[in-house]
Structure 1
Amino acid sequence: MSSPGLSLIAFVFIFGGAIVGMILRRALPDNHLRDDSRDVIKLATGLVGTISALVLGLLVASAKGFYDGQTTEITHISANIVFLDLALARYGPETKEAREALCNTTEIILDQSGSKDGARAYRLDPTSIGGGVLYDKIQALNPSDDLQRSIKSQALSMAVNIGQMRMLMYEQGTLSVSKPLLAIMVFWLTVTFVIWGLLAPPNGTVIAVMLASALSASGAILLILEMYSPYEGFIRVSDAPLRAALAYLGH
């Protein structure tokens, strides 16, 4: 299910909890909500609310770290592509085919990372990006002096590094937020809103505040899910470094 769909379900549960609490307030006997009982209920709410806030904060931090990692890896790949092209250009005109293979590889990576169907494209077999062809073209070079031998060795190392980074991104693309942890957190939030609804008088102001709070909580969940899917949705990793690298190739 998509991130907006999951966050909508979370919102229904959380805000529904507040409505259930308001209904229970009318059904329970008055002595269940007297001062002593209210104190205990408030303490329990504080405990559950604190745990929920802590876990929610940890999930946001984890998702942000994952998103930043993907951004960094895209930047590193782009930098390696530019340096590799510079090295091949320094080698000599016999690297023309290798530079063309590098350009094709960059275009494929850019197409996969920036595809409108990002989830589908990003999970393609990483061997399909042409890295093997690029490596073979570099390996086929016959250096005639120490400078060319050094450049060839460095070029092979950078080509391998690009392939390794792409494979790392591919493997990381299979990661996602823990669904059981997310479900437990939604349960905690729902319990908190049930208690709030139980203690609050059912008037328009209270309902509006509950609605805004539920939207905020479900919005945080949407943010977490979106950052764990950095190549789809509306929070996407920028492909600007790859586009800049592709524009530079061949110069």
Structure 2
Amino acid sequence: MKARRSSPRASRCCARGGPAPDRNRLLRRSALRRGARQGLHAHFSARRRCIHEIIISCLTFVSAFGAALVGLVLRRRLPEHHFEDHPRDVGKLVMGLVATLAALVLGLLIASTKSFYDTQTAELQSLSVKIVGLDRVLGEYGTAAGPARAELRRVVEEGYRRLAGTPDAASIHLARGEAAPAIIAMRQLVRALPAETDAQRQLRGSAVQLAGEIVDTRLLMSEQVNASLNWPFVLVLVFWISVLFLGFGLYTPANATVVAALLMGAVSVASAMFLIDEMSRPYEGLIRVSAAPLQLALMQMGQ
């Protein structure tokens, strides 16, 4: 059998008495590979969500404008007795009922998603205020709170980088609860602070309370982000809008002005659906929650 030849690098390491592989270097490479895989996953996931928004908007536009064109064609094909006074009045009554239902549901969806977006913004602002308060309490505590204070700043910096970075990274960060272990570890450091005087015990109690509120707010934001729109509800709304545009085309003489008006109406409804889909995911897409509260918190920390 041939003797196994060792690499020059391994020989040099053995000659110096050190280990052949560098464990820390291997761990860094493994972390880089995991980061690269997460980055690729975030990239493709963001593309899928962007395509999803475009599909919903295009489906709404095609359904509405296509139904209007079908109505215009049917008006030419159907006999004239279908458009006499009584059939026309019944059709307009049904259109009024469907228009009322569609307007109420569309307004409800827009108001609901806007309220969700505003809630996430307010909770992020509240979280930033609590972070600054906890940092100041730890600063008053003294040098013993240095590790907890440094861990708090590291967690906030990581959260700010995610929110200010790629949209999908911020969404995955909240939806998967990736920062929860770091926040909980920070809370454990706060709880482990030594308290020798009454003032330190009071400060530790305040710090533990603020740390608990930070963890609760973070988990609440994560649970709210995981909730999604009721898409069967949205599909029923698209069906109502299509029926409404079908009636518009059926009871309106065809000309360029009518077609242009129906086109603008379909574009308006499709844009409303796009806004609903955008605001239902406040950490992705074009309409995102601003990371300014965390940036202001970082500027005030350590003072």
TM-score tier (shorter): over 0.9
Is contact 2:144-2:194 (8 Å) kept?
no
Q: 2:105 corresponds to which residue?
A: 55
Structure 1 spans left out of the alignment, 5+ residues: none
Q: State which drifts further: 140-149 or 109-118.
A: 109-118
Q: 1:226 corresponds to which residue?
A: 278
Aligned identity (percent) is 41
- What is the Cα deviation at residue 127 of structure 1? 4.9
What is the root-mean-square deviation in Å for CA atoms of aligned residues?
A: 1.4
- What is the Cα deviation at residue 3 of structure 1? 2.0
- What is the Cα deviation at residue 138 of structure 1? 1.2
Q: 2:157 corresponds to which residue?
A: 107
Q: 1:155 corresponds to which residue?
A: 207
Is contact 2:138-2:207 (8 Å) kept?
yes
Q: 1:43 corresponds to which residue?
A: 93
| Larger relative contact order, structure 1 or 2 (CA cutoff 8 Å, min sep 6) | 1
1:243 is aligned to 2:286: no
Is contact 1:126-1:167 (8 Å) kept?
no
- Paired residues, number: 251
Is contact 1:230-1:237 (8 Å) kept?
yes
Q: State which drifts further: 86-95 or 120-129.
A: 120-129
1:142 is aligned to 2:164: no
Structure 2 spans left out of the alignment, 5+ residues: 1-48
Is contact 1:104-1:130 (8 Å) kept?
no
Structure 2 length normalisation: TM-score?
A: 0.80
- What is the Cα deviation at residue 124 of structure 1? 2.7
Q: 2:143 corresponds to which residue?
A: 93
- 1:1-251 equivalences under 5 Å are 1=49, 2-116=52-166, 117=168, 118-128=170-180, 130-251=182-303
- Matches of 1:162 and 1:108 in 2, distance apart? 15
- What is the Cα deviation at residue 189 of structure 1? 0.4
- Matches of 1:132 and 1:36 in 2, distance apart? 69
Is contact 1:67-1:227 (8 Å) kept?
yes
- Matches of 1:179 and 1:30 in 2, distance apart? 39
- Matches of 2:180 and 2:55 in 1, distance apart? 32
Whichever residue aligns with residue 204 of structure 1, its letter is A
- Matches of 1:7 and 1:16 in 2, distance apart? 14
Q: State which drifts further: 82-91 or 23-32.
A: 23-32
Structure 1 length normalisation: TM-score?
A: 0.96
Whichever residue aligns with residue 280 of structure 2, its letter is Y
